[in-house]
Amino acid sequence: MNNTENLRDILSFYKINCHDPFYISSGNSIFKLPEVTFRMDFYAVCICISGTIHLAIDNQEYDIIPNVLLISAPSTVVRFITVSDDFKMKLLFFEKTFLLKNNSNPFFIEKIALFSNTLYRIVPTDAIVSLRLLGLLAYLHEKTTVTGRFTEDIIRTIIINLLLEIAEVIHINAHTAIDFPNQSSDHIFYKFNQLVQKEILNHQSITYYADKLFVSNKHLIKIVKKTSGKTPHHIMDENLLKEAYVMLGNPDVDITEIAYRLNFSSVSAFSRFFKKYAAFSPSEYKKQQTI
């Protein structure tokens, strides 16, 4: 399992059907948590039922305790650090294409502002809210055990209701209205984000992405800055850093090979880039992963 990089591979290793566009757990301990850094390739909703888990998400460390909700988008990088013996969670994975089938709004997830300017969010709730969300997940699990004419549509509707409930909790906690950005700018930003996630290993210039989106460099910079508060280069660097974290977590790949795969001109150039954002060198980080 040391070469595993994607969650789909991990689920498959533990004999969990990951060929469907969604997966809902029973809430029991179903497999040993992976010891490697991995990349999410689903949207995920996780609710802690009991115990605690200490984990790193995009290299930021958090403690997840009962009634805390974690939601994340594809390409989020996760590493489990420590977990209590009594830890249990209820979780849902789903693909966006499945959720938005027959939906006239392709930006439903973006519109309800689940993630703000990040690819994940940790949402503290109380016991009442947690029970309500767990009830929806339990109903979802029940529907996945039967086959009917409208089962797939019912499952899709339950997931949409769950996401709306979560968005409402986020809205109430923030004490602000959910923002609905300009659709054309929103469209370009999210297409840019998707392209970067897919192409960052091969293309690291603004011009490439601007050409793909049929806009000028200047216009792309303006839209990305307005929508996310970041520059396109910052977003590209963030995605490149995530790839670096994943590769450095693999004991079978050395730093020279990683620098080559990430298209750096030298190991020293990669080391400067990594240290700029991570505050320590690639070798120091890699050593931490093997302790």
User: How many domains does the chain divide into?
Assistant: 2
60 and 168 assigned to the same domain: yes
Residue 1 included in any domain: no
Q: Does the predicted TM-score (pTM) go above 0.95?
A: no
14 and 52 assigned to the same domain: yes
Residue 234 included in any domain: yes
Residue 11 included in any domain: yes
The pLDDT value recorded for residue 233 is 92
Write the pLDDT tens digit of every residue in 55-113.
988 878 888 989 889 999 888 888 888 888 888 889 899 998 898 887 767 778 877 88
Q: Which domain holds residue 191?
A: 183-289
207 and 121 assigned to the same domain: no
24 and 159 assigned to the same domain: yes
What CATH number is attached to the domain comprising 234? Answer: 1.10.10.60
261 and 117 assigned to the same domain: no
Residue 167 included in any domain: yes
Residue 125 included in any domain: yes
Q: Which DSSP string do the residues of 79-137 spell out, in sequence order?
A: EEEEE-TT-EEEEEEE-HHHHTTT-S-TTHHHHTTSSTTSSEEEEE--HHHHHHHHHHH
Residues in a beta bridge with 92: 24, 45
47 and 151 assigned to the same domain: yes
102 and 147 assigned to the same domain: yes
136 and 232 assigned to the same domain: no
124 and 223 assigned to the same domain: no
219, 195, 193, 7: which is closest to 115 by C-alpha? 193
What CATH number is attached to the domain comprising 80? Answer: 2.60.120.280
Write the pLDDT tens digit of every residue in 19-35.
678 888 866 554 567 77
